[in-house]
Every structure is written in structure tokens, then in C-alpha cells.
Amino acid sequence: MAVADSDYRFIYVNVGSYGKDCDSNIFKNSPLWTRIKNGNIGIPEAKCLHGTTSPAVPYFLVGDEAFALDKHLLRPFGGHNLTTKQRIFNYRLSRARRYIECAFGILSNKWRIFHRPINLDTDFATDIVKACVVLHNFVRLRDGYDFGDIMTINGLEDIASASQVQRETSGNNLRNVMADYFVTPAGSVSWQLSKI
């Protein structure tokens, strides 16, 4: 289990859980989630998106369908009969999830040991994975990046005011705010309808 930034560097890894364990349970039992829920990890205060005065949107992690929805963890809308707004949200969320998927791809292609099962003692295998993550981050920092695909977020002018968003934003409300934002002129991208 890992969290990556937009530079494809790992900012948190949790190594050593069994493959049969549910991703959501591993995450909910991780020290990272405990610190997020206790409020002692240093997540910045909720802020309005660029160019807006409301609503204040909390910082959140992006996960897939395996994770539970929370104000600090967004996941896609489930089901098959989704509205256009929900499908756009799911598409945009999947674009954000690409960073962690690509980080894992870069890691495994750089360190070929991940192309096969690691037939070693569990503790030693865990140390190897952690060492590869540290080396991965070092190489990413040393080699730099080419960011040709940067998404800029502009305003929420056309959607809910602060009074319409609960002071303590729930995961469901946050997901709906972001879904509304992605269909506004300020939050949409010209090609999103062709991708859903």
C-alpha cells in the first residue's frame, strides 16, 4: 500500500501485509490513517479552490473502489447506471489515480526484482521493497521530470455556496462538490465528454 505525489515519488509506503488482505482494511489499520483521523499528520486546513470564495474543500487522498469513502479519501461512484456528472467525476478521479499506478510501474520497471515472486524470508523481502522505494525516490529526484500533463484547477463559481456544504464535510458531500465542479466551465476540460 502506498501514497505517491504528482512527481511519482512515494510519500508513504506500508509493506508487509498479506496479499489476501483487503486494501481498505490494510489502509484503515495503517499508522497513516490513524494519524489522519486523529488530525496530527499536518494536513493543511480546507481551502477554497483557486479563484473561488466558497466552498472550502479539504485535502484528500484518491483511491479506487476498494476503499471506503471519507472526507480525506475519495473513491469513484459505484454502479453502472451513472449520470454524466458521475461518469465525468469517475474519469477525472481515475486520471488522478494514474500517478500512483505510474509510480508502481516505474518502480517495477526500474527494479526488475518485482517482475517475479520474491522467494526470500518475509522480513528480508520487506527490507528489499523498502530499499527499492527509497532508491526509486532518489532516482526520481536526481533525474527530474517532464510534466506535459498538468491539470490546473480553476474556480467553483457556478456550484454550491459555503452554506450548502456542511462545515464538517463528509466524503459523500465532498465527492458531490467535486463532481459538480468537474461539469462547470471552470472545472471541465474540453475532451472529458469524449472519454466517458
The residues pairing with 13 across neighbouring beta strands, listed in sequence order, are 2
- Tell me the pTM: 0.73
| Domain total of the chain | 1
Average pLDDT over residues 6-29: 85
Terminal Cα distance for the chain, rounded: 28
Grade residue 50 by pLDDT with cuts at 50, 70 and 90: low
Looking up cell 477525472 gives 92
Tens digit of each residue's pLDDT (9 = 90 or more) over 158-180:
444 443 444 445 777 888 888 88
Nearest Cα neighbor of 96 from 25, 3, 181, 30 is 3
Determine the Cα–Cα distance for residues 32 and 41; give it in Å rounded to an integer: 8
Q: What share of the chain is helix, strand, coil (3-state, %, to 5)?
A: 45, 10, 50
Amino acid 129: pLDDT:
94
74 secondary structure, DSSP code: E
**Mean pLDDT in the chain?**
81
The pLDDT value given to residue 157: 41
Q: What does the radius of gyration of the chain's CA atoms come to, in whole angstroms?
A: 18
DSSP-derived 3-state class of residue 156? coil
DSSP state of 162: G
Does the pLDDT at position 154 exceed 70? Answer: no
* Alpha-carbon gap, residue 144 to 110, rounded angstroms: 15
Domain membership of residue 129 as a residue range: 2-195
pLDDT in tens, 67-123: 888 888 999 999 889 999 999 999 999 999 999 999 999 999 888 899 898 899 989
Q: What's residue 104's pLDDT?
A: 92
> Which pLDDT belongs to residue 172?
78
Range name among 27-41, 91-105, 124-138, 159-173 with the lowest pLDDT average: 159-173
Give the pLDDT mean for 141-156.
51
Lowest mean pLDDT among 12-21, 36-45, 62-71, 121-130: 12-21
Residue 13, H or E segment: strand 10-13
pLDDT of residue 68: 86
